[in-house]
Structure 1
Amino acid sequence: MQGNLWGIFFDLEEDCQLVLRRRPRIVSNQLLNIREWPEDGDWQNVDMDKVVFWVQAHGLSTPYLNWENAPTIANKIGDYLDTDRASRLEAFRRGYLKIKVNIVVSHHLPAWFFLKIAIGRKEWIQFKHNKLPMVCYNCGRIAHDFKNCMQPKAFVYSLIGKVVPMNGPWIKSEVPM
């Protein structure tokens, strides 16, 4: 393969599917971008600038907490790929939608958005990313440490008017904030 691109092949299709289901992979706190082998074998057409992530959308009110809304919500983050298709009851119990998306690695990770519920009413929807590697809490980019970041820390206004940092440990699904 060329550059930092490797081809990995499996004897069993089940092994390949398991690796693809459990992506992204983190090696030494760095992102290993695992993509499907193109059917035509031409890696020139594979967009390695995008990485597959499972993202949780928290803060949705009950009527919106169903997988049918996942494509619309996913478009706020990147390209919609799939959802875990949890039942309404399961999604309600855990309190979030789980969505599989393609995210452009060089862009900042979307941490939230305002969902318009009714005229004059918005809800703050927070994204928590599964298996998120090193991420800068200043600019929100992957594989970039805030200690070396030249960008100013990004802030947003919450619905109650408080200024809060846009990025922090709470964008990782493993962090219970």
Structure 2
Amino acid sequence: MVKDVTIKAWKPVFPMEIKRLSKEVFMFIFHHEVDLHKFYMKRPWSIRGGHLVLKRWSPDLTWQEVDFSTSSIWVQVHGLPPLWRIEENLRRLGSRVGAVLEVDLIGEPGSAWRKFIKLRVEVDIANPLSPRVFLPHPNRSDLWIGLKYEKIADLCYRCGIIGHDQKNCFAEVFKLNYQSGKRFKAAGPWLRVENKDIPKEIAATSLTSNPASSSNPSCQ
């Protein structure tokens, strides 16, 4: 099944071998660097809802020593003010999620109204995915900077961890504190790039504390 799914999805130009090393660990052998680089750089991948963690295997290690506790994921950063969109600030923000590997400033240089910025982050997949960073905003409510994760398959909306859904989860509900000390459910559809929602508690707070002005629609 793993072989059929990966070959169909990746369509390698050169032959690719797949060997099963354990119940959940597979070795992919590429016969050309071009194929390896293409599939590795487009990670993460999923196989029938399961999150596939791809790691390059160094010959000086046994496969049991390969660290599969982290995964490289593209994280979209939404709602960041234009003045904050410099690499130093973005790396600092991304470090709240994991180790920042790459910063991709979407759009043409100087474009202040990009919809989002992308960071490739090495995420600890044993921990819940963070939905946000609160950015201090002098004399105003802290800004909700939404984080959305690309190409994630099974994600639990109860505990916020990749690899299962909430039907099979008995962990405590993952909650975070808002600036007022109010707790809110942190994991939900808003962690996915195809969803534009934010937690309802944050939405309600935004509507009551920062009402949009009809005379200045560009500030909405």
Distance 1:31 1:72 in 2: 26
| Of 155, 162, 174, the match for 1:154 | 174
Alignment pair present for 1:114 and 2:134: yes
Matched position secondary structure for 1:8: strand
Structure 1 residues 34 and 116, CA, compared in 2 at 3 Å: closer, same or farther? same
Distance 1:41 1:161 in 2: 47
Q: CA deviation at 1:164?
A: 4.4
Distance 1:118 1:49 in 2: 38
Q: CA deviation at 1:93?
A: 3.3
Alignment pair present for 1:165 and 2:185: yes
Q: Which one has the largest radius of gyration?
A: 2
The alignment yields a C-alpha RMSD, in angstroms, of 2.6
Alignment pair present for 1:50 and 2:70: yes
Specify the alignment match of 2:86 in structure 1: 66
Matched position secondary structure for 1:151: coil
Specify the alignment match of 1:100 in structure 2: 120
Q: Could you tell me whether the CA contact under 8 Å between 2:82 and 2:113 is conserved in 1?
A: no
Distance 1:23 1:131 in 2: 8
Please identify, of 146-155 and 44-53, the stretch whose mean Cα deviation from structure 2 is larger.
146-155
Q: Which has the higher contact order (CA 8 A, sep 6+)?
A: 1
Percent of aligned positions that are identical: 28
Specify the alignment match of 2:44 in structure 1: 24
Distance 1:119 1:71 in 2: 25
Q: CA deviation at 1:113?
A: 1.8
Equivalenced residues, count: 176
Distance 1:94 1:135 in 2: 27
Cα deviation code 1:54-101 (max 9, x no counterpart)? 0011121111123342221111101111122445545x4332210001
Structure 1 residues 39 and 174, CA, compared in 2 at 3 Å: closer, same or farther? farther
Listed as ranges, the gaps of 5+ residues in structure 2 are 1-19, 198-220
Distance 1:155 1:5 in 2: 32
Alignment pair present for 1:131 and 2:151: yes
Listed as ranges, the gaps of 5+ residues in structure 1 are none
